[in-house]
A and B are shown apart, each in its own frame.
Chain A
Amino acid sequence: MTSQESMPTARAERRQAKRLRRFDNPWMNPKLFWGAGLLLGIIALGLIGRFLWNLDLVFTGSTPLKLPPLGFENLRKQPGVLDYPLGTDGGGRDMLALIIIGAPNTLFVGLLASLIGMSIGITLGFTAGFVGGRTDDVIRVLADVMITIPPLLILVVFQSAYGDVSLTIMALLIAGFVWQSPTRLIRAQVLSMKQSGYVQMAQLSGASTFHIMFREMLPNLVPYLFGSFIASVTTSIVTAVGLEVLGLGPQRIPTLGRTIYEAINAGALIQNLWWWWGIPTLLLATMFIGLLLINLGLDEVSNPRLRKLS
């Protein structure tokens, strides 16, 4: 074979080898990359924006009212200006400053709520599955009852009674409604794992309960935990945004949901101020797509059968 002929085949082989490496190393997953990229982009927007942009523009009346984004005109034929590239809202606030502060806040509520929810879920799930008996009955019934209660109903009642709350309190309240499904999931996995050969082997090896729970079982649960975590982040954000759009939740801290609430309240839909509600919505959509991609990616990581040779 001459060198000219071997060149293209070598390249094809390299490409093939790259594909196979990706197959062999499950974490090299494009969906996972894209999902993580989208979320990190939103976090980066919040972090970098804080240094590069004037955040005082989030205060009411700090800018002209209802200016469109750069390159557009509003109904009063005013063009967008470079000082406020994403436009301004009806209260005289800069949209870019609003999302720089608001988007990370929304993400923060979701992450915190599901971190707390997952911790409760792991503890209760393991306890129920491992201890069994009466403890299991109590935890299972509690989780089953809680899962039937619509969280929005309780939260609406609670928040309208207490008025203004901080982001952390809101996350805590939401956490009270996202621990049930991880509890059930982990309990089921622990129950089936308890019967598995390797747990029996560990018992034969004189392993303590602690060792069996955290050294033998937990590592095998990691894919489920990740998946469950991402799912509960999504649920938490949806709940938080839902409350905010209803005008509940933190009153003085900008969040994406609150911005949408104010836009609806001020009749932004009728006045064609699309950037006011459109930009936060777009960011929320990006967040959910990112989370969905991460969830799909993790699914493929933990279940090799979904991986394809392509």
Chain B
Amino acid sequence: MTDKPVLTLRDLSIEFPTPQGVVQAVKSLNLTIHKGRRVGFIGESGSGKTTTALAVMKMLAEPGRVAGGTIDLSGTDVLALDEEKMRMTRLSRIAYIPQGAMNSLNPVMRVEPQLWDGVIAHEGHLDRGELKRRSDAALTSVGLPIHSGRLYPHELSGGMKQRVCIALGIILNPELIIADEPTSALDVVTQRQVMQTLKAIQAQIGSGLILIGHDMGLMAQSVDELAVLKDGELVEHGTVSQIISAPKHPYTQDLISSVPLVGGDSFLNAERNAPAPQRDSPEPLLRFDAVSKNYGAVTALHPMSFTLQGDTPQIISVVGQSGSGKSTMGSIMLGFNPPSSGRVLFEGQDVQHMTAAQSLEFRKNVQAVFQDPYSCFNPFYRVSHALRYPYKRFGLAQSDAQTNQAMAEACAAVGLDPDLVLPRYPHQLSGGQRQRLIVARALMLSPKLLIADEPVSMVDASLRASILSNIYDLKDKYGISILYITHDLATAYHVSDYVMVLFKGHVVEAGPPRQVIGDPQHPYTRLLIDSIPWPDMDRSWGDGRQDWDPAVEEAQAAKVGAMYRGDVSGFELARS
């Protein structure tokens, strides 16, 4: 590793003038990135990490501006470059790998010409053979087969698209690569593969790398140095091992401790209190009777049967990669999506065949928390509408005063100040606040079953634990059985009473979490667990192996039958 700095930020300040005054997005940031080093920018949303990266590219969104300081790209003063020189600098010297590869590729162009565009823009027209040679080399270097260049973006999987974006970024051998949360939309297995690709290619061309992210585990596995940002300030900077083993700033400590670990200390309240309210129906709460779902020729869910008694509140976790059928299962339970075969019975009543009155009763008793807290509120109404409307609709409201009190209590139960939050519009609240409100809404209706479909995957890491422990605490207090759908095995390990691992619509391993996640036996479960990036330097993840290919491992896992690792009372999964 040489000592020549690729990028030097000196006293960099960036501000955004807004109606409420000037917002300091980045406050006198000093940072040096050396050649061949990987530097992670970590912090919550709004901490200025993406803004800094965009400033380096001179691509700040209006009305943002660099208020002071210098950006030095191995000898070039970036801020002094005019638009044309900057255009030539982008891609050839600084490459940017965006967050959503899904949306970054032109859907009507094949992959190859999109790679050529960058080359032509910087080097003028080359002959076709030379272009082809360059794009083939770039695709090969990111581990994609050459024929994938002839495909359209929609024919590639998410991980492949992200790797095409990497190929696009490195085709001109830039001095600096900026990767803005390159894996946030991918599941853990694909994430591991993409990060491995990125690390390998960066080492090969010897450029500097800025990795922007909020996942401490991913950082620990991917970078050499870590810069912790909070509210636009660099609060801590050092090598990864130094920061992880001895974080100095309290915020860094929070970031590290908020990552839930399998087998680590639980983030939940240990004391269990209050026996659950009794149910009045002898029928099991929820029964899947050989339910399956096909989308055309694709089977999303193979026939599955289970019975959830629901006499004692339990949390059943369904874990799996995207495409494993777990969300399909959730929407079938909610009655949004009719099963292709089989029946879903709620207290003995088929969910798909209900009278209007039964349907209203079913809606009251089965509530959901969805993944995306940003879309769950109608932007036209104040957030209190989302709480008040169902409460009145289900006939729970006796008077306006009583409704208001119930709303205030529900807010308080999830740790929100009702006076501060309820009269606002959705866009005035943060994602975490909105997700808590959705939890509060569900609790206010005191359902018997709550379906939580990735309830925390879109909120900042530090909030995940607190929202999950909100849900967990309220389970016993209100006697709610919960179906927790997630891809995050670490949280499932802590909160659930029973875990089902789904792989391509089949249950591959099921049982209590201590067995299934703590001591996985099925190769697929092991693949999932091995792919979790741990914030622990000794527990290596991307060990530099180039031959690690999830497709091979998955093919092997598909050959192994389902494993049942023990039972819990109140939940019965039919063995196939």
Interfacial residues, chain A to chain B (CB-CB below 8 A): 20, 23-24, 196-198, 200-207, 216, 219-220, 309
Contact = CB atoms under 8 A, between A and B. Distances in A.
Contacts of B394: 205-206
A293 to B, nearest CB: 23
Contact of B376 (A198, A206, A207): A198
Given A20-B19, A23-B19, A201-B386, A206 B364 contact: yes
B334 interface: yes
Given A197-B370, A198-B377, A203 B389 contact: no
B32 interface: no
Contacts of A206: 359-360, 363-364, 390, 393-394
A204 B390 CA distance: 8
A51 to B, nearest CB: 42
Contact of B390 (A200, A205, A216): A205
Contact of B336 (A24, A197, A198, A200): A200
Interface string B348-377: 000000000001100110011010101111
A216 B380 CA distance: 8
Contacts of A203: 336, 363
B311 to A, nearest CB: 24
Of the listed residues A196, A206, A207, the one surrounded by the most CB atoms of chain B closer than 10 A to its CB is A206
B378 A204 contact: no
Contact of A205 (B17, B19, B389): B389
A220 B393 contact: no
B389 A202 contact: yes
B363 A205 contact: yes
B250 interface: no
A202 B388 CA distance: 11
8 smallest CB-CB distances across A and B, nearest first, come from A197-B375, A205-B390, A197-B376, A219-B380, A206-B363, A198-B378, A20-B19, A206-B360
A227 to B, nearest CB: 17
Which applies to chain A's interface (DSSP): helix, strand, loop or mixed? Answer: helix
A77 B387 CA distance: 78
A204 B336 CA distance: 9
Given A200-B336, A205-B393, A220 B380 contact: yes
B379 interface: yes
A9 to B, nearest CB: 16
Interface string B20-32: 0000000000000
Contacts of B368: 200, 204
Interface string B375-406: 11111110000100110011000000000000
B63 A204 contact: no
A203 B362 CA distance: 12
26 contacts: A23-B19, A197-B370, A197-B375, A197-B376, A197-B377, A198-B375, A198-B376, A200-B336, A201-B370, A201-B376, A201-B386, A201-B441, A202-B378, A204-B363, A204-B368, A204-B390, A205-B363, A205-B394, A206-B359, A206-B360, A206-B363, A207-B389, A207-B393, A219-B378, A220-B379, A220-B380
A196 B370 CA distance: 11
A196 B391 CA distance: 21
Nearest to B361: A206
Contacts of A309: 17, 19, 63
